[in-house]
Amino acid sequence: MQDESSTFGLNRKELAKLWRMGEDAPSERGGIDEEQMKAELLQDQLAGSLPLEAGMRYLLPDILTAVCKKLRPFIGCSFRALLLDPETDPLVLRAIKDLHKRQAESGPSELEQEVATTIYYAAIASALVHHDIRITKFSYKYLGETFAELRESKWLLSEIENLFDKARRLCSKYIKR
């Protein structure tokens, strides 16, 4: 094909690599950088709430009426409120974790996947901090390292930073035992 000369002789792989390098360039969205975009997306995601079916799936083993009673206080609450509330049922935290795990695996953009991953780990941290339970198979060592790494993100809300910090300290205690 004669028209390929506009690629300056680069093949598809080389062009893809060049485009990926361009993704790291500062955003031209009115001066909003990637860190600010992540912070805003995190705030938007944390304002969301658990859909009824996601919470119910974990609480259906016995009687539906008991499930509804248990879920009623949590449906409609923001993820932020649920993650920071020591009274949030661990089953609800597990539902938040699983919901955001799916989003982290299949989100439409890398940015949305990163934010979903952060909320995924925030749910794990909340269960550790507020209930002293681990709702994942990850080791305490791995979790502690991950919480420390996430804690250093410059776009986190201070409450989430504190949650990761507390969870990291808890993991350190379990590792030393």
Q: What is the mean pLDDT of residues 68-97?
A: 80
Which SS3 state, helix, strand or coil, does residue 95 take? helix
Q: What is the mean pLDDT of residues 84-105?
A: 91
pLDDT category at 112 given cuts 50, 70, 90 is very high
Supply the pLDDT for residue 129.
97
For all residues of the chain together, what is the average pLDDT? 79
Q: What is the mean pLDDT of residues 116-122?
A: 95
Supply the pLDDT for residue 130.
97
Residue 59, pLDDT above cutoff 60: no
Q: Taking phi first (over 0 means left), then psi (-120 to 50 degrees means alpha), and beta for anything else, what does residue 9 get? A: left
Residue 155, pLDDT above cutoff 70: yes
Close Cβ partners of 158 (under 8 Å, ≥ 6 residues apart)? none
CA distance 116 to 104: 5
Supply the pLDDT for residue 39.
86
- Asked whether 83 and 123 are in contact (CB, 8 A), the reply is yes
Which SS3 state, helix, strand or coil, does residue 11 take? coil
Share of the chain above pLDDT 70, in %: 66
pLDDT tens digit string along 10-32?
666 665 665 666 555 554 544 56
